[in-house]
């Protein structure tokens, strides 16, 4: 489950991570002129008006504005409520404190899919996509793998010092925030806990944005209010009992096992693509569950290609193949499909899927790496 920025910041505050405090308004107030007039009179300008959507690139899309006075406040709130960012309508706006920025950093904890352990990622180049920094300036990214669940101060300190040595007092402050973020990451069963950017303002470090993705099993540990953070497709997936998280790319991903799905997403990133979702069908999935999964992923209008990566043990490759065929028989899809199968009843699964070649852009592979490369090239 992917949280909104404002929800992530509430959790930051519980863990004493310094962050901005804002006021949330929703679409119900869009045309309530009296409310907005009263609200803007209470504000201390400038303020930052931020669209609350669970996709990246809000700033580039015009979803973040700085209002210097009441006139700009009214103008920008109206503009942002009328926006559609990457196919998602803006229903909530966070009116946030303005913070003067001297320097921006990146910090996150994420599960390394190949090793199934957490990794700390830090960079002195924040405020942009970390993938972009990794591609252009790999020497500015530091990683620290946490092989046991205990994280020691020196591990964080060493990771920071590999790429940033300008001020030892800064390093100590960053280290303190990182340790708090790891506690948050552990205690809330996070898939990702990210601060981008972590900004230096005066003598203080402040988490200016938040990105938190929770494991579905952790949802009950979040206040009921957090349920509204799910997108319509995530709500549908929950009703169907599917482990599904929407991401901001355009390649649909389906696999069996959380580790395999996360590895697949990493492979797609490696070949220059971006995943549109995480979907784990689990072990032993039958054809009906596979059909539901394919149908759900392809309801997302952002999806321009689909990669299904299955390693069959208790999950039978022929059942997976039947589910894919049933989904495509029910509705005509015109996007490229790549399927990687290995394991139980592999030959039968391959035979069943051969029928798709007559109808759509379809490729079959036995290699996860080749499959990721194929789907990325077909979507570009």
Residue with tokens 């580790």: 259
Q: What is the mean pLDDT of residues 29-44?
A: 74
Give the integer Cα–Cα distance in Å for 272 and 259: 20
CB 73 within 8 A of CB 40: yes
Looking at the chain, list the stretches that DSSP marks H as alpha helix, in order from N- to C-terminal side.
Answer: 5-14, 33-42, 70-81, 130-136, 153-161, 168-187, 232-240, 258-270, 287-297, 317-330, 346-353, 368-379
C-alpha to C-alpha distance for 103 and 59, rounded to whole angstroms: 18
**What does pLDDT average to over the chain?**
89
CA distance linking residue 354 with residue 341, whole number of Å: 13
Q: Indicate the range of 35-44, 112-121, 174-183, 330-339 predicted with least confidence.
A: 35-44
Residues 6+ apart with CB under 8 A from 297: 244, 252, 253, 254, 276, 277, 279, 303, 306
Q: What is the pTM of this model?
A: 0.61
Give yes or no: 194 in active site.
yes
The whole-number average pLDDT for the span 225-229 is: 49
User: Is 29 known to be catalytic?
Assistant: no
Task: Name which of 158-167, 204-213, 307-316 the model is least confident about.
Answer: 307-316
Integer CA distances (angstroms), 180 to 17, 18, 152, 292, 368, in order: 7, 10, 12, 39, 36
Convert the pLDDT of each residue in 68-84 to its tens digit.
998 999 899 999 999 98
**199 touches 102 (CB < 8 A):** yes
How confident is the model at residue 235, as a pLDDT?
A: 86
- Report the half-sphere exposure of 146 (CA within 13 A, side-chain side): 23
Instruction: Give 172's contacts (C-beta < 8 A, 6+ positions apart).
Output: none
CA distances from 333 to 52, 363, 374 (A): 31, 15, 18
- Of the listed 194, 246, 319, 373, which one is catalytic? 194
Check pLDDT > 70 for residue 30: no
What's the confidence (pLDDT) of residue 152? 86
Distance CA 304, CA 353 (A): 20
pLDDT at position 171: 96
For the CA atoms of 59, 61, 64, 66, the dihedral, rounded to the nearest 10 degrees, stands at: 100
Question: Which residue in 106, 164, 244, 263 is the catalytic one?
Answer: 106
Q: Which domains, from first to last, does the chain contain? A: 21-97 (3.30.1490.20), 103-217 (3.30.470.20), 231-379 (3.40.50.261)
69 DSSP 8-state letter = S
Place of tokens 């800064």: 170
pLDDT in tens, 124-144: 999 888 888 888 899 999 999
Mean pLDDT of 7-33: 87
Helix pair angle (368-379, 258-270), 10° resolution: 50
Mean per-residue pLDDT, 139-166: 91
- And the tokens for 92? 């909530």
């Amino acid at each position: 489950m992917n949280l909104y920025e404002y929800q992530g910041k509430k959790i930051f505050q519980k863990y004493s991570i310094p962050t901005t405090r804002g006021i949330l308004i929703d679409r119900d107030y869009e045309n309530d002129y009296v409310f907005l007039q009263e609200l803007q009179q209470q504000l201390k300008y400038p303020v930052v008006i931020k669209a609350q959507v669970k996709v990246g690139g809000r700033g580039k899309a015009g979803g973040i504005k700085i209002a210097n006075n009441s006139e700009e406040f009214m103008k920008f709130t109206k503009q942002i409520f009328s926006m559609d960012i990457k196919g998602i309508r803006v229903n909530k706006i966070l009116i946030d404190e303005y913070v003067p920025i001297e320097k921006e950093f990146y910090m996150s904890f994420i599960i390394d899919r190949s090793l199934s352990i957490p990794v700390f990622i830090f960079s002195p180049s924040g405020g942009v996509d970390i993938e972009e920094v990794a591609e252009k300036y790999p020497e500015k990214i530091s990683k620290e793998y946490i092989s046991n669940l205990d994280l020691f101060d020196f591990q964080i300190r060493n990771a920071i010092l590999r790429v940033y040595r300008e001020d030892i007092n800064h390093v100590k402050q960053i280290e303190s925030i990182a340790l708090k973020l790891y506690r948050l990451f552990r205690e809330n069963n996070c898939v990702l806990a990210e601060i981008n950017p972590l900004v230096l303002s005066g003598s203080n470090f402040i988490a200016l944005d938040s990105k938190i993705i929770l494991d579905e099993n952790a949802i009950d540990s979040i206040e009921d209010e957090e349920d509204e953070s799910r997108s319509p497709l995530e709500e549908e997936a929950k009703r169907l009992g599917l482990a599904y998280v929407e991401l901001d790319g355009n390649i649909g991903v389906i696999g069996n096992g959380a580790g395999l799905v996360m590895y697949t997403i990493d492979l797609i990133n490696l070949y220059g693509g971006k995943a549109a979702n995480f979907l784990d069908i689990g072990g032993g999935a039958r054809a009906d569950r596979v059909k539901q999964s394919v149908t759900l992923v392809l309801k997302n209008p952002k999806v321009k290609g689909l990669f299904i990566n299955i390693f069959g043990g208790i999950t039978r490759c022929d059942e997976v193949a039947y589910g894919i065929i049933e989904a495509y028989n029910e509705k005509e899809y015109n996007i490229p499909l790549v399927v990687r199968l290995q394991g139980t009843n592999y030959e039968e699964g391959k035979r069943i899927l051969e029928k798709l070649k007559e109808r759509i852009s379809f490729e079959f592979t036995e290699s996860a790496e080749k499959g990721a490369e194929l789907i990325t090239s077909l979507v570009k």
